[in-house]
């Protein structure tokens, strides 16, 4: 989630360079946008980098809006300002700027960056929960630029908004439409819409269709070093659905003993696999912890599992040869700081993670009262929302038999 309402102190911190020296504020919206492009091209590196990048983006958005307040944006600067706001956590303000840019065409000649403007407008409306408006804007995007490569990913954004509103059936229809618009062979950025469709189908009980979609995607991505392993792990998770989930023999359990089959019998268990060093709050673990307050009396059990790997929070990096006992002490401290007080499973060097073909964290396995997997996802915000819904559905009492 992008940062909102950044206080002045945070903006000052965001303007600091790696050595702590303040970066000068951009003099123009165009210069702010060039910095945005540079940040987009800079690979994420190291724990905490995501937070630092969000702070920089928020700083650029604030600076651009301050420039706009003194001298209103026009022409290409309208779109630049829209993108700065969108990336900087000011989605509500991004939409009107994108719409104003599109209006400059007067319905005549196509604009050089019309696709980007349509995308920002749709995503802005979706982020604000304006679902009918987002649908309408997306349909306008499709009609204006029917062959645009961004149609699939932007369609996923709209579907995600419907899912966030608690309407998984409406979201599924939109995930289907978004995936159908992806270019073939698959291009970078196609993995997200396809994985969302597969997960949404699996949640709806359409596992056979989900498998066909994943298998076709794997065939289309053959040889791609990023997407091929991703779709293999998606298929591995589909294979788990509907089957028993055995309790793993982990290296250690903190704050309690390992769960047992007898102890989980008749319960809804959520196995939450996560990397302890990449969890700035709010986290999915905290989402589940909040659900426990109401769900535990109905039989909800949360089993978090993390792994060691040599990370040293004091150094902010992985240290080769670091003692496992030292890392375990650090990871427990970090997890407890997130508010989790229950048992915590730890696997050394992630052997169990590798056995499950985990690619993307957190991974969440929802096991029903009968001990069988009802839903499984990894590394997907869409999947996380569906996992929450799957657990709630599994907790619901069975419908009464007709009399």
Q: Does 144 fall in a domain?
A: no
The answer to whether residue 401 sits within a structural domain is no
Are residues 96 and 225 located together in one domain of the fold? Answer: no
Instruction: Let me know whether 263 and 382 are in one domain.
Output: yes
In a domain, residue 403? The reply is no
The percentage of residues in the chain with a pLDDT greater than 70, rounded to a whole number, is 91
311 & 354 share domain: yes
Domain boundary among 102, 137, 172: 137
246 inside domain: no
pLDDT score for 56: 94
Is 220 within a domain?
A: yes
The predicted structure's pLDDT at residue 104: 93
Q: Are 205 and 275 found together in one domain?
A: no
Q: Give yes or no for residue 3 having a pLDDT over 60.
A: no
All residues at 6 or more sequence positions from 46 whose CB lies less than 8 Å from its CB, including other chains = 316, 317
Flag whether 110 is in a domain: yes
- pLDDT category at 385 given cuts 50, 70, 90 is very high
Report the CATH number that the domain containing residue 307 is assigned in CATH: 3.40.30.10
Last-in-domain residue among 137, 165, 192: 137
pLDDT in tens, 245-276: 999 999 999 999 999 999 999 999 999 999 99
* Cα gap 226→317, rounded to integer Å: 24
The whole domain housing 167 covers 149-240
Residues 133 and 153 in one domain: no
Q: What is the pLDDT of residue 350?
A: 78
CATH of the domain at 202: 1.25.40.10
For 117-163, what is each residue's pLDDT tens digit? 999 999 999 999 999 999 999 999 999 999 898 999 999 999 999 99
Write out pLDDT tens, residues 152-168. Answer: 999 999 999 999 999 99
Quick one: DSSP state of residue 149?
A: T
CATH number (domain holding residue 14): 1.25.40
Residue 187 has which token pair?
A: 């291009």
Q: What is the mean pLDDT of the chain?
A: 90
Residue 2 has a pLDDT of 34
> What is the per-residue DSSP string for 94-145?
HHHHHHHHHHTTTTSSPPTTHHHHHHHHHHHHHHTT-HHHHHHHHHHHHHH-
pLDDT at 10: 41
Q: How many domains, in total, are found in the chain?
A: 3
Instruction: Write the pLDDT tens digit of every residue in 8-41.
Output: 444 444 444 544 456 789 999 999 999 999 999 9
Q: Are residues 207 and 316 in the same domain?
A: no
Q: Do 34 and 126 fall into the same domain?
A: yes
118 in a domain, yes or no?
A: yes
Same domain, 279 and 177: no
Residue 356, in any domain of the structure = yes
């Amino acid at each position: 989630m992008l940062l909102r309402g950044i206080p002045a102190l945070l903006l000052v911190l965001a303007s600091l360079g790696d050595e702590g020296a303040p970066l000068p504020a951009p003099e123009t919206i165009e210069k702010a946008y060039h910095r945005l492009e540079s940040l987009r091209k800079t690979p994420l590196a190291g724990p905490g980098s995501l937070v630092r990048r969000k702070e920089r983006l928020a700083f650029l958005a604030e600076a651009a809006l301050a420039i706009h307040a003194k001298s209103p944006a026009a022409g290409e600067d309208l779109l630049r300002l829209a993108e700065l706001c969108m990336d900087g956590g000011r989605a509500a303000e991004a939409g009107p700027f994108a719409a104003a840019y599109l209006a400059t065409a007067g319905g005549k000649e196509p604009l050089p960056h019309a696709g980007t403007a349509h995308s920002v407008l749709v995503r802005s409306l979706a982020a604000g929960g304006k679902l009918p408006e987002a649908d309408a804007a997306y349909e306008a995007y499709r009609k204006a630029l029917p062959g645009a490569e961004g149609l699939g990913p932007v369609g996923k954004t709209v579907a995600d908004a419907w899912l966030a509103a608690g309407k998984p059936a409406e979201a599924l229809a939109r995930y289907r439409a978004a995936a159908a618009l992806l270019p073939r062979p698959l291009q970078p950025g196609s993995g997200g819409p396809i994985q969302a469709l597969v997960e949404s189908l699996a949640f709806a009980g359409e596992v056979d269709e989900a498998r066909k979609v994943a298998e076709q995607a794997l065939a289309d991505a053959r040889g791609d070093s990023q997407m091929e392993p991703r779709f293999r792990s998606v298929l591995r998770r589909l294979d788990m659905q509907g089957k028993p989930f055995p309790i793993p023999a982990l290296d250690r359990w903190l704050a309690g003993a390992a769960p047992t089959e007898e102890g989980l019998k008749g319960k809804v268990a959520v196995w939450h696999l996560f990397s302890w060093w990449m969890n700035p709050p709010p986290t999915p673990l905290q989402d589940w912890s909040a659900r426990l307050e109401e769900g535990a009396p109905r039989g909800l059990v949360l089993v978090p599992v993390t792994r060691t790997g040599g990370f040293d929070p004091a150094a902010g990096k992985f240290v080769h040869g670091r003692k496992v006992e030292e890392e375990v002490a650090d990871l427990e401290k970090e997890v407890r700081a997130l508010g989790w007080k229950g048992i915590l499973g730890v696997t050394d060097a992630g052997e169990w993670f590798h056995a499950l073909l985990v690619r993307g964290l957190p991974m969440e396995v929802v096991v029903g009262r009968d001990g069988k997997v009802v839903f499984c996802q990894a590394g997907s915000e869409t999947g996380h929302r569906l996992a929450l819904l799957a657990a709630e559905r599994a907790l619901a009492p069975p419908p009464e038999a007709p009399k």
